[in-house]
Homo-oligomer: A and B are copies of this chain.
Amino acid sequence: MIAELQSTVLLRKLELFGELPPADKQLLNNVMSRGRVVRGHTDIVAEGESPTDVHLITGGFACRYKTLKGGTRQIVSYLVPGDFTDLHTFILSKMDHSVGTLSECAVVDIPRSRILELIERPALARALWWVALVDEATSREWLVNIGRRRSEARIGHLFCELHARLKAVGLAVDGKIRLPITQNELADTVGLSVVHTNRALQSLRAAKLITLERSELVILDAERLQKFSGFNANYLHQGLGKQDK
């Protein structure tokens, strides 16, 4: 059910930034313990905790979220294979948000000490820094998305982003990705109600921009969807500095 990509997916992601010396790749491999499987809709780290391990997602979908009184919640980022949940834990002792799974996930727990070993390698340190900065850039783009785009474009934009990110780690084939997410969760992501989310989705389907059934999202016309949603992949800073430099 859950892909066993393990360290491959992380390596693949880090090398989006730049190639790593063989010794670093080796180290990366050593650091990866055996993974475990976490059921869907389960917290990996909860707000207020002070996690001791860093968690790496190697399969499935997870998210960062905050719950407000009244029970409403807002998902503030998605974690896909290759993403870390807790890199800030070195500096900020207490989590100011929760991390939970959306689908069933494969998770690797890495003790802080091992991360410190990684950071001692300059190339790895830079790569991990890059990861953190891309996360930040993504969250800025989400702000634009939620603040300034209407419902259909908002959802379309999210789909474009997820496709780009999954493609980067080899998890997308011709516009098709696994998206094991309920409409409720989607609504909490884009800041809309479930009902409205449902209608916006139908509108995207009617426009023949996407297909979404049984957790499989197909982007039927990438170029048109990107234009429609105002999507521009710059903020993901992928691509070896080519389009970036």
Q: Interface of A with B (CB < 8 Å)?
A: 50, 64, 66, 68-69, 72-74, 76-77, 88, 90-94, 96-97, 126, 129-130, 132-137, 139-144, 146-149, 190-191, 230, 234-235, 237, 241, 244-245
CB closest chain-B residue, reference A96 = B235
Does the CB pair A143–B144 fall under 8 Å?
Answer: no
Contact pick for A91, options B92, B126, B140, B245, CB 8 Å: B126
* Bound CA span A137–B139, Å: 10
* Bound CA span A64–B139, Å: 13
List chain B residues, Cβ under 8 A from A130: 91-92
CB closest chain-B residue, reference A130 = B91
Contact pick for A96, options B90, B146, B234, B245, CB 8 Å: B234
Does the CB pair A68–B144 fall under 8 Å?
Answer: yes
* Bound CA span A239–B66, Å: 22
Contact pick for A139, options B69, B91, B140, B245, CB 8 Å: B140
